[in-house]
Each structure stands twice: as C-alpha cells, then as structure tokens.
Structure 1
Amino acid sequence: MEAPICIRPAILADVGIISRIIEHSIRFGCALDHRNDPPLVSGWTRQHCADVISARLADPHFYLSIALLADKPVGVGMARVSGDIVFCYVQPQSFRRGVGRALMSDLEGWLRVRGALHAHLNSTRTGEAFYRHLGYHESEPSLAHQGLQVLPMYKPLPLPG
C-alpha cells in the first residue's frame, strides 16, 4: 500500500529542500521544455533560488506548501493571493503518485479561502496534460516566456461552502 501524501505549509527551515526539489524537477522532469540547454536551465532554476524562496515565505501574498511522501519531501507548490499558481514541482521519481494533484488541491483551496474565483497558471509542455486533467483550460495561445513556450491556463474555483 502506498504511503499517504501529507501537504503542509512550508517554513523557513524548508528553503534548502524546496530549492533542491525545484532544481531536480526542472533538470530531470522538464527536459522536453529546456532541451538540456544549460543557459535556459540555469535561468529557470535561478528564479527559484533560496533567496527568492525565503522572500516569498516572508510575503503574506504568497503561500508555499510542501508535499511529503512517507515523511520525505517530494514536491512543492506556490500560489499568489491574486489567483496565480506560481509553480507546482514534483520530484520525477514521485511522478504519477498523486503528489502533484495533492499540491494543486491544497493551493486551490488556499486561493478559494482568499476569494479567488479562478486559478491562473502558465504551463510548460511537460505539465500541460497534467493541468488539463485537473480541469484547467487554455486562456490564450501559447507564448514565449524567459526562453520557454508556456500555455496560459485557468480553472474556475468554486466558492468555499
């Protein structure tokens, strides 16, 4: 039987592991998007360095959560009170185990409580099928963003009841 997935808010002590999960997920899980182009990988991972993560943890407009599988950190997600899902990264060895779905549910719940009517995100090609499976729809044509092709997507969020 699979160990349960636990989602909890991230804390300052998690910054190092969050940065490592993101870097590992980008390097090994998103090769379709960055095509192993070193400057592109470096630019993408630099956006999620420890200093940036620390600043987001201190900002009340952002929410970061961490997913644990058998008490081991395997995924991270971030939302902004404006309704944006900033990111959802899962260790590649934990793909297809419900970690991403659990993180997204947590992020969407946080947004709903804050009154967001829709969640918005920019999906890479790697994540597009996953987000569609969760009910996200294309909101505009794909566009280039920091060297990557991204697809703006949205999902209506039901009001908390």
Structure 2
Amino acid sequence: MQNKRGISQTFGAVPRGRVVRPATVFDVFDMSAILIRSITQLCGADHKGDPDQIAAWTANKTPDGLRQWFAGDHVLWVAEWDGQICGVAAASPKGEVSVLYVDPPATGRGVGSALLQQVEGHLREAGFAEAYLKSTYTAQAFYLRLGWQRAGDELRMIKSL
C-alpha cells in the first residue's frame, strides 16, 4: 500500500494472544506502570501495605530508573497480550532472573510462565547450568510449581537449566 506521497507502507496486524519480545527504551512508561501496579496490588504478603516499604521497593521502577536498566548489562523482555504490555522480565549477566512481574489483570494467563521460560532459555544459551533469583513471598508457589527450589534463605531459589 502507498500513502498519498507514493511511499510504500506496510501495517501489520497486532498479534493476538500472548507475545514475549525484547523490551525497548520506548516501553519504559508501560513497564514502570506494570511494575508499580504489580508490587502494590499483588505483593501485599511482602510489603504488608506499608507505604515506606512500597516506596523503597518502587523507587527505581520509574521511567527514568528503567532507562538506567537499558544502559546497564541486563537483558529485558516484555510480554504483550493483544498488543498491550502486561509483563516485564530481566536477566543479569550473572545468571540471575533479576525481574519478573505481571500486571494484575494478566495473572493466571501464562504470562509469568512465558516470561520465565524466555529468561531461562536466554541464560541457558549464555552457558549457565543453573539460574537463581530472589523471590517474593507472593511468588514462591509460582516458582516452585515451575521447577525452582529453595536455596539457602527462604527467598533465594535456584534451578538447573
């Protein structure tokens, strides 16, 4: 198709269902909103509604804070559902699942599992035989269900890849 200036344009349809893709700096506003909503709405067992704990936990989850993640050495992904970002994940160069959060309305749809599978695959391809993470109390059952094991303190978990 050509526009009125004769320039060819192709418009793809928004993918239906769930898609995991590399995050870009253009995603930081959606990523920030999802991280903050997930922490405040889903992680009550961890922060117990304490505004100081929530503020400390979300302090680096602003769009400006997330831009710094792109400047660092982490690899980031987002999950989309029908074209809308609904989850965020990151891997560190040390074999860590450093971030995994899902937007509250998207829980129970396999978004977290798809993101975790992406991160695990990335770490496996990077040569890691094991991955580790520090779980929230809220997410422990999720990780245990997907083959992760407790390692040391109650929130540290590990998985053979």
TM range (shorter): 0.7 to 0.9
- Between the aligned partners of 1:88 and 1:42, the Cα distance in structure 2 is 18
2:158 maps to amino acid: Y
Match of 2:158 in 1: 154
Kindly state the Cα deviation for residue 47 of structure 1 after the two structures are TM-superposed.
2.9
Match of 1:50 in 2: 63
- Identity of paired residues, percent? 36
- Between the aligned partners of 1:89 and 1:28, the Cα distance in structure 2 is 11
- Between the aligned partners of 1:106 and 1:139, the Cα distance in structure 2 is 22
1:15 equivalenced with 2:28 (yes/no): yes
Match of 2:4 in 1: none
Match of 1:137 among 140, 143, 149: 149
The 3-state SS of whatever aligns with 2:97 is strand
Choose 1 or 2 for highest CA Rg: 2
Match of 1:95 among 103, 107, 112: 107
Match of 2:98 among 74, 86, 94: 86
For structure 1, which runs of at least 5 residues remain unmatched after alignment? 143-150
Q: Is contact 1:81-1:116 (8 Å) kept?
A: no
The 3-state SS of whatever aligns with 2:49 is coil
- Give the structure with the larger strand fraction: 1
1:153 maps to amino acid: M
Match of 1:6 in 2: 19
Q: Number of paired residues? A: 146
Match of 2:86 among 74, 82, 106: 74
1:41 equivalenced with 2:41 (yes/no): no
Q: Is contact 1:141-1:152 (8 Å) kept?
A: yes
1:76 maps to amino acid: V
1:154 maps to amino acid: I
- Between the aligned partners of 2:65 and 2:120, the Cα distance in structure 1 is 22
Match of 1:107 in 2: 119
Superposed CA offset, 1:22-74 (max 9, x none): 00000101111111100000000113222331122122x31110000111110
- Between the aligned partners of 1:47 and 1:32, the Cα distance in structure 2 is 21
2:106 maps to amino acid: S
- Between the aligned partners of 1:33 and 1:108, the Cα distance in structure 2 is 24
Q: CA RMSD in A?
A: 1.0
The 3-state SS of whatever aligns with 1:73 is strand
Kindly state the Cα deviation for residue 81 of structure 1 after the two structures are TM-superposed.
1.6
Match of 2:5 in 1: none
Match of 2:129 in 1: 117
The 3-state SS of whatever aligns with 1:125 is coil
